[in-house]
Chain A
Amino acid sequence: MMTVILASSMGTFTSCKSDEEELIDNSTVEQYTKDIVGRWLMDGSQWYWRFDAQGGGSVGYGENWDKEDDVNEGEGKKFEWFFDTDEQGQSNGLMVIYFMEATSDYSNPATGAPYSIKSITSTKMTWVTSDGETQSFTRQ
């Protein structure tokens, strides 16, 4: 339920493009949506990210875990991911939404983090966080 609400609220919006923004078009979004699926390891760390295919909808699921903190796959943070697009189909990048569990009903508190993807190849991926930090990953 939350995914639907969030996708509808986050998914399509009107905006102005500023000069400093690097946007990607719809075809690139579609390409990234396919290419990002898989298990990735952040370079120089034990921090794994796994992006599962979106299936039939516009939202995919995933998980990240840091083995340096003794967290294994299956024990990490679960998230939903999608590419945040405006009415023109333009996107500034990947949106990852986390829902937290500690509620008595479905009103899970949520937080999100945007990532501006710079490139995805068969083996490497690079994105820039919202505070400008570039992070590189190697496909596992």
Chain B
Amino acid sequence: MKKPVKITLISLGALLGLAVVAIVVVCTLVFSKERLTGWVKGFASEYVTCQTDIESVELTFFSSFPNVALCINDLAIINPMEGAQSDTLLGVHRLFAELDVMAFLHDGSISISGFTLKDAQANIYINADTVPNYDVFRTEPSAEEQTDTTGGGFSLDKMSLHNIDIQNLSATFLDHAHQMEARGRNVNLSLDTDANIQELTGGGDIDLEIGELLYSDSLNYAQLSDLRLKDSHLFYDGKDASVKMPTLYVGAQDYLLSGDVVLLAKIWGMELDGIEAEWRDKKPSFKGITRLDSSFVTLGNDDVMRISTQAVSIDMPLSSTDERWTSAMNTQVKALCFAMDSQGTLADNLDISTQFEASTNTTFNDFTVSNMTTRVGSQAVSGNLHVDMTDTTRLLADVDVTLHATSVGEILALVPEAYKESLKGMKLAAQLSDAHITSNLEVGKALGLKHVSVETQLSQFSYADDTNLRCDVESLKAKVTYPAGKQGKEFGIDADMDKLNVVMADDTTNIRVAIPGGTANLLLRDDIIDGKDPRLSVKFDLQDIDVRMDDTVQVAIQTPQGSADVDMASVKNCIKVAANATLKGLKLKSGSDLDGQTGAANVKFSCLYDESKKDVLDQISPVADFSLRDGHFRIAGLTHDMLLPELTATFNKDKAVLNNCQLNLGNSQMNLKGTVSNINDWLKEKALLEGNLTLKSPLVDVGQLMDMTSGIGCEEEEAAPAEATATNTAGGIDHSQGDPFLVPKDVKFVITTDIATAKLDDNSFDNVGGQLTVDDGVLVLEEMGFTSKAAKMQLTALYRSPRRNNLFVGWTFHLLDIDIAEMLKLVPEIDTIVPMLSSFAGKAEFHLAGETSLFADYTPKMSSLQATAAIEGKDLTVLDSETFATIKKYLFKESTTNKIDTLSVEMAVNDKKMSLYPMLIGWDKYEAIISGKHTIVGAMPFNYHISITKCPLVGGHLGLDINGNLDDVDNISFKLGDCKYANLYRPEKRNITQEQTLRLKSLISTSLKRTVK
């Protein structure tokens, strides 16, 4: 450095040091602590209307170089008010006011360029009359003081603040008038500004820290801690304004928003980046990025909601009128995570972006969102929203939203993890057209829906799960509306479906249901959204339903229409179902076993399902009325089609009532009515299934029915491991001998018949009345009365089928006033048993009782056959025959007439033999007793004896023995012999055997006739 320069610098430094020393000396001498303290106190009394205490005031140079600062120590402004939190309005441990020395030196004015407050406490209070405790400052000095003020002095007009620095401020705020309270602690503020206080213009850089901030009013509460705002900039030029906040961090926050809408929120850590707010040309705008870290929100109930994001980006240019604020918003939320303790994770790592135009009124209780486009993941939603909160007790919202075309799979990807467990095993796929949703919501004490309309269409819908169920729908249009129904308390769901296919298949069963199309209209009670169990009603109108099972069973339900109600709410633990349905027809086909169809059918069905009951049969209480017409069925094994011209019936779990069943089978036309009871107990195997029916018919072809029903019940026998079956079959059922009718067990049916005509082979019976009973494996025809052209008849018969090849039949059969020839025609077997009967003509009375076991083809087992018969006749004619001619040749005169006065025949069959008990025949002047036996198996050998006990020819007794085989009548032997029964009707001479014979004869006759009713 050159010497002159060096000397010059040394000189200037000396002058500057001298100046500083001079200023310090001047300040010390002129602005002494005492003088300044008094001066500031005077200033305070000039501008402050309440008590002001100041400990001391001093000037400091070095701490505020190059300016001089006024340092006020322990300032207290005291303004007691009743109800206030403190008498002290403001207390400051140390206050620095930087003075503009140049302004002072220039024109003597005092200009404050900056403020620094250290360790301050402020208590702001507003009483119930809205009188605040801070209304203690005067902007102009009092008149008294003004007269004393001369020259420059202090003037706010000239004050220009450039720096405000607040360190460790605590403040309280209490507003009794508005029931508001706020409190802040540890507030630090650094503001570098060029603001013009007089013009309220300017800007500045702000650093702000708030350790804790509390706010509460009558409804709301908020607590905030650790707010940090760095390097922010404010600007206002009297017209436009802007705020830029590079970083705003807000620590823990608690919010309580109450009233009827209760919202408790607690957020830990919210960071906002790049927030810029502008107010330009009266149009505000806002944009920024917000990150929520570890946030918690608690709703009014005990549930806890958790929200976090990686970033929330908001671009919000604002504009306003006097009445509303509007904005075209663009927000993006990255990696939204949302969970509720009660539901689990509901959204995980979800990106949401939305653009919309929003507006709100100036009181922020009326919001409108329009032209909204939101993307959630790959899904897009557009629409409009209006929220009205002007009534503080409720929130009203109008929603008009369109969910744009998507696939169900993409929607399922959004399903929260908490719900995915319930979808496990399901496979869903479908295309979803635009779903348009309009809704009016009311959120108050409870969620209320004013109006909802959802309209959408599913196409190529498929559903499958791991229960082997698969469902495909080609197209499903659906519209949901609210309110619907007569009372306006229901959701209306209208569905229009095309090509529904349902398949249920496993290793053993394959069931397919196909519906070409149809509509369904559902009404669902709205209390379901209050958590109540659903109550719904549905009307359906479907095209033909095709049901197939294992490709063997086919059911076609033609155009079913009807309605159904399902109520799961009225009775606890119960589901009530009521349905009405009509069909145009029904087609049934089961392999080669059944093929049939019906005409129109109606079903009225109701059922109560009570899941609290243990037994499945107790859980279900069905009641049904049904009717069908024009049924036509072809059943395997039946040689004729079964026709059901009309069937109406009702049933419940205990009883079925057949109101009218017209059944035509072959030649038979039957009408069945009656009840079947004990259904529930029968299903539980506690009781017999009981039936009491009447059968009315103009014609029953008994023979045809027997042929048709042969073999019925055999399938059950094959399924049951009956012990009896094992006795005669070594390996399975032997069908070679026939398939007899096996009487069902566990049932007791009584069928009262009223049959105008019953046909059996070539015979015809009229007025067939009696009872047919099926009782636990026994079929009984009880006292069946009927008439034919041959006789009046009465039949009691019994049929059991304990096993296939050992059937049992028993009967008592009375033919009253019968022509013998007709009788033999009616019951040809009588001719086998009593061959001589065919030799008589005339009227007789015939009583027959018998029983036998039968083979499977109904052939009698002769070893078990036993029967008794009694025939009584008068004035019978003995027909001319070769046999009678031979008898006549031996015993009678040629002139003897063939007229028999009386005939009393008693016969019995047992031990494979037929016994003709001695019968007395009187005709003309003759009297004879005939008896005999013949074997009813093999060649049927016989031996008969005729005792002539009265004969004008011989005047004594004659006997004739007739022997031979019935299958060789050409070689019958006739031989005169002893009169075996000369004393039969002379009691005093009868021997033991004759006595016994007559008593057996009497036993047969009396026991038989006793059964005539």
B853 A69 Cβ-Cβ under 8 A: yes
Instruction: Report the 7 A-B pairs with minimum CB-CB distance, sorted nearest first.
Output: A109-B849, A66-B863, A102-B810, A69-B861, A18-B991, A111-B908, A107-B1010
B855 A70 Cβ-Cβ under 8 A: yes
Q: How far is A59 from B154 in the complex, measured between Cα atoms in Å?
A: 149
CB distance from B181 to the nearest CB of A (A): 101
CB-CB contacts of A122-136 with B at 8 A, as 1s and 0s? 000000011100000
Does A4 reach chain B (CB closer than 8 Å)? no
A-B contact pairs, 10 of them (CB 8 A): A9-B1003, A65-B863, A66-B863, A71-B861, A84-B992, A98-B866, A101-B810, A101-B851, A109-B849, A129-B911
A100 B812 Cβ-Cβ under 8 A: yes
Q: In this complex, what residue of B is CB-closest to A18?
A: B991
Tell me which residues across on chain B come within 8 A of A18, comparing CB atoms.
Answer: 991, 993
Does A92 reach chain B (CB closer than 8 Å)? yes
B-side residues, CB < 8 A to A, are 727-728, 782-783, 796-798, 802, 805-806, 810-812, 849-851, 853, 855, 861-864, 866-868, 908-911, 913, 915, 933, 943, 988-997, 999-1000, 1003-1004, 1007-1008, 1010-1011, 1013
Q: How far is A95 from B992 in the complex, measured between Cα atoms in Å?
A: 13
Q: How far is A23 from B994 in the complex, measured between Cα atoms in Å?
A: 13
B1003 touches which of A6, A14, A16 (Cβ 8 Å)? A6
A10 B1003 Cβ-Cβ under 8 A: yes
Q: How far is A110 from B812 in the complex, measured between Cα atoms in Å?
A: 11
A-side residues, CB < 8 A to B, are 6, 9-10, 13-18, 21, 23, 47, 65-66, 68-72, 75-77, 84, 86, 90-92, 95, 97-98, 100-104, 107-114, 129-131
A103 touches which of B911, B995, B1011 (Cβ 8 Å)? B1011
A69 B862 Cβ-Cβ under 8 A: yes
CB distance from B859 to the nearest CB of A (A): 10
A70 B1011 Cβ-Cβ under 8 A: no
- Contact of A66 with B861 at beta-carbon distance under 8 Å, contacts A15-B995, A75-B802, A77-B866 already known: yes
Q: How far is A68 from B868 in the complex, measured between Cα atoms in Å?
A: 24
A66 B864 Cβ-Cβ under 8 A: yes
Tell me which residues across on chain A come within 8 A of B862, comparing CB atoms.
Answer: 69
Tell me which residues across on chain A come within 8 A of B913, comparing CB atoms.
Answer: 129, 131
Q: In this complex, what residue of B is CB-closest to A116?
A: B993
Q: In this complex, what residue of A is CB-closest to B813?
A: A102
B812 A16 Cβ-Cβ under 8 A: no
B1007 A102 Cβ-Cβ under 8 A: no
A84 touches which of B864, B915, B990, B996 (Cβ 8 Å)? B996
A71 B910 Cβ-Cβ under 8 A: no
Q: In this complex, what residue of B is CB-closest to A68?
A: B863
- Contact of A100 with B864 at beta-carbon distance under 8 Å, contacts A6-B1003, A109-B812, A113-B911 already known: no
Q: Contacts A66-B861, A131-B933 given; 9 further ones with Cβ under 8 A? A: A47-B863, A66-B863, A84-B992, A102-B811, A109-B1007, A113-B908, A113-B915, A129-B913, A131-B943
Tell me which residues across on chain B come within 8 A of A102, comparing CB atoms.
Answer: 796-798, 810-812, 849-851
A72 B727 Cβ-Cβ under 8 A: yes
Q: How far is A21 from B992 in the complex, measured between Cα atoms in Å?
A: 8
Tell me which residues across on chain A come within 8 A of B996, comparing CB atoms.
Answer: 10, 13, 84, 92, 95, 114
Q: In this complex, what residue of A is CB-closest to B737?
A: A70
Q: How far is A112 from B1007 in the complex, measured between Cα atoms in Å?
A: 12
Tell me which residues across on chain A come within 8 A of B866, comparing CB atoms.
Answer: 77, 98, 100, 111
Q: In this complex, what residue of B is CB-closest to A91?
A: B992
Q: How far is A76 from B850 in the complex, measured between Cα atoms in Å?
A: 14
Tell me which residues across on chain B come within 8 A of A66, comparing CB atoms.
Answer: 861, 863-864
Tell me which residues across on chain A come within 8 A of B1004, comparing CB atoms.
Answer: 109-111
B1007 A108 Cβ-Cβ under 8 A: yes
B810 A100 Cβ-Cβ under 8 A: yes
- Contact of A113 with B910 at beta-carbon distance under 8 Å, contacts A21-B993, A86-B992 already known: yes
B999 A98 Cβ-Cβ under 8 A: no
Tell me which residues across on chain B come within 8 A of A131, comparing CB atoms.
Answer: 913, 915, 933, 943
Tell me which residues across on chain B come within 8 A of A6, comparing CB atoms.
Answer: 1003
Tell me which residues across on chain A come within 8 A of B868, comparing CB atoms.
Answer: 100, 109-111
Q: How far is A76 from B798 in the complex, measured between Cα atoms in Å?
A: 16
CB distance from B931 to the nearest CB of A (A): 10
A17 touches which of B810, B811, B991 (Cβ 8 Å)? B991
Q: How far is A119 from B1008 in the complex, measured between Cα atoms in Å?
A: 34
Q: How far is A98 from B812 in the complex, measured between Cα atoms in Å?
A: 14
Q: How far is A97 from B1004 in the complex, measured between Cα atoms in Å?
A: 11
Q: How far is A22 from B915 in the complex, measured between Cα atoms in Å?
A: 22
Q: In this complex, what residue of A is CB-closest to B854?
A: A69
Tell me which residues across on chain A come within 8 A of B797, comparing CB atoms.
Answer: 102
Tell me which residues across on chain B come within 8 A of A84, comparing CB atoms.
Answer: 992, 996
Q: How far is A69 from B988 in the complex, measured between Cα atoms in Å?
A: 44
Tell me which residues across on chain B come within 8 A of A16, comparing CB atoms.
Answer: 988-992
Q: How far is A108 from B1000 in the complex, measured between Cα atoms in Å?
A: 14
CB distance from B61 to the nearest CB of A (A): 136
Q: In this complex, what residue of A is CB-closest to B782?
A: A104
Tell me which residues across on chain A come within 8 A of B1007, comparing CB atoms.
Answer: 107-110
Q: How far is A87 from B1003 in the complex, measured between Cα atoms in Å?
A: 20
B861 A70 Cβ-Cβ under 8 A: yes
Q: How far is A98 from B867 in the complex, measured between Cα atoms in Å?
A: 9
Tell me which residues across on chain B come within 8 A of A114, comparing CB atoms.
Answer: 993, 996, 1000
Q: How far is A75 from B908 in the complex, measured between Cα atoms in Å?
A: 21
- Contact of A75 with B991 at beta-carbon distance under 8 Å, contacts A102-B810, A107-B1010 already known: no
Tell me which residues across on chain A come within 8 A of B851, comparing CB atoms.
Answer: 100-102
Tell me which residues across on chain A come within 8 A of B988, comparing CB atoms.
Answer: 16
A103 B863 Cβ-Cβ under 8 A: no
Q: How far is A66 from B862 in the complex, measured between Cα atoms in Å?
A: 9
CB distance from A25 to the nearest CB of B (A): 13
A13 B782 Cβ-Cβ under 8 A: no
Tell me which residues across on chain A come within 8 A of B810, comparing CB atoms.
Answer: 100-102
A71 B853 Cβ-Cβ under 8 A: yes
Tell me which residues across on chain A come within 8 A of B867, comparing CB atoms.
Answer: 100, 111
B1013 A104 Cβ-Cβ under 8 A: yes
B861 A23 Cβ-Cβ under 8 A: no
Tell me which residues across on chain B come within 8 A of A77, comparing CB atoms.
Answer: 864, 866, 910
Tell me which residues across on chain A come within 8 A of B1000, comparing CB atoms.
Answer: 111-112, 114
B999 touches which of A9, A75, A129 (Cβ 8 Å)? A9
Q: How far is A77 from B909 in the complex, measured between Cα atoms in Å?
A: 13
Tell me which residues across on chain A come within 8 A of B805, comparing CB atoms.
Answer: 70
Q: How far is A108 from B1010 in the complex, measured between Cα atoms in Å?
A: 8
Q: In this complex, what residue of A is CB-closest to B909?
A: A111
B989 A70 Cβ-Cβ under 8 A: no
CB distance from A82 to the nearest CB of B (A): 12
Q: In this complex, what residue of A is CB-closest to B855?
A: A70
